[in-house]
Amino acid sequence: MSVLIVGSTALDSIKTPAADRPRLLGGSASYAAIAASFFAPVRLVGVVGTDFPKRYLRLYRRHGIDLTGLQIKPGKTFHWAGEYEVNMDHRRTLRTELGVFETFSPDLPPAYRKTPFVLLANIAPSLQGHVLDQMARPKFVVADTMDLWLNIALKELLALLKRIDGCVLNESEAQHLTKEDNLLQAARAIHKLGPKYVIIKKGQHGSLLSAPGGLFLAPAYLLERVVDPTGAGDSFVGGLMGYLAGARGPIEANLRRAIIHGSVVASFCCEGFGPSRSSRATRAEIEQRVKELEKRTRF
């Protein structure tokens, strides 16, 4: 089945202690769409300016991503510039130019409205809600979010949480949203806000799924060297949703392996600047790391 992915499509200029790379393909929807494309057909909704490099359109197409929903507007593409510290754990934003993204309205092409799997990648919760307004009873909806929306759009985020099946946030966001330090308490509090499935990301420490069938403690695929962590979280949730859309059987039976596949795609993402490494991964390489994670966790 197909997965609809809505989020930001951008250009990222990234500085690390080792290098400085301008105008890479970026944005939550770009990373998520590439990650999902290994497992299922992807439909993208986003907006770019007329300056958006043709080579990135070709990259989307090489991944079989349906671009009917990608709006190309007069003006400049959303541009983010950031810099990482030595240990890659902290980054700071150097510049944000919204460009055509400032007035983005994620209006769905009619053909997209019955897509069974919907990933609301990280954008303003009001826009995420606007997508759901246009959908005809999707099978499974997951939303990703970030601390910014907890600070400036909490009301809209809380309204969105009531309308989705699963939410993905990182540890500090879960604690911030619920005012609970303990992760199990935080997950329980988030269930009360709506989502049946709560996934808390913990970076290199893996992730935690809280679901009706119990907890799942997922490992991360540890790397000897991280080149650029930008987009790892988006790749994680994109891989997860792509895997679910491509798998047979009930959602909950597939969710654990979906999370593991998301982790593995995120690991490839961290091995190159922007999506340069994840976009060159093969399904066979992905399955090899999944097997390796099985070996690393069995006891």
If the CB atoms of residues 17 and 53 are measured against a second copy, the closer one turns out to be 17
Q: Are 129 and 163 in contact (CB under 8 A)?
A: yes
Q: In this chain, which stretch among 15-23, 101-109, 124-132, 200-208 interacts with a second copy, using CB under 8 A?
A: 200-208
- What are the structure tokens assigned to 293, written together? 């994670």
Q: Which one among 61, 114, 205, 283 touches a second copy, defined by CB under 8 A? A: 205
CA 62 – CA 77 distance, rounded (Å)? 21
CA 219 – CA 66 distance, rounded (Å)? 32
- What are the structure tokens assigned to 289, written together? 């790391």
If the CB atoms of residues 43 and 201 are measured against a second copy, the closer one turns out to be 201
Query: How many CB atoms neighbour CB 242 within 10 A?
Result: 30
Query: How many CB atoms neighbour CB 226 within 10 A?
Result: 18
If the CB atoms of residues 154 and 222 are measured against a second copy, the closer one turns out to be 222
By CB under 8 A, residue 154 contacts a second copy? no
By CB under 8 A, residue 215 contacts a second copy? yes
If the CB atoms of residues 75 and 219 are measured against a second copy, the closer one turns out to be 219
If the CB atoms of residues 142 and 183 are measured against a second copy, the closer one turns out to be 183
By CB under 8 A, residue 105 contacts a second copy? no
- What are the structure tokens assigned to 204, written together? 């290199």
CA dihedral 157, 200, 144, 4 (to 10 degrees): -130
CA 248 – CA 1 distance, rounded (Å)? 9
Total residues interacting with a second copy, rule: CB under 8 A:
34
Least distance in angstroms from the C-beta of 185 to a second copy? 6
Q: In this chain, which stretch among 150-158, 162-170, 217-225, 229-237 interacts with a second copy, using CB under 8 A?
A: 217-225
- What are the structure tokens assigned to 5, written together? 């992915």
Q: In this chain, which stretch among 114-122, 157-165, 203-211, 276-284 interacts with a second copy, using CB under 8 A?
A: 203-211
By CB under 8 A, residue 218 contacts a second copy? yes
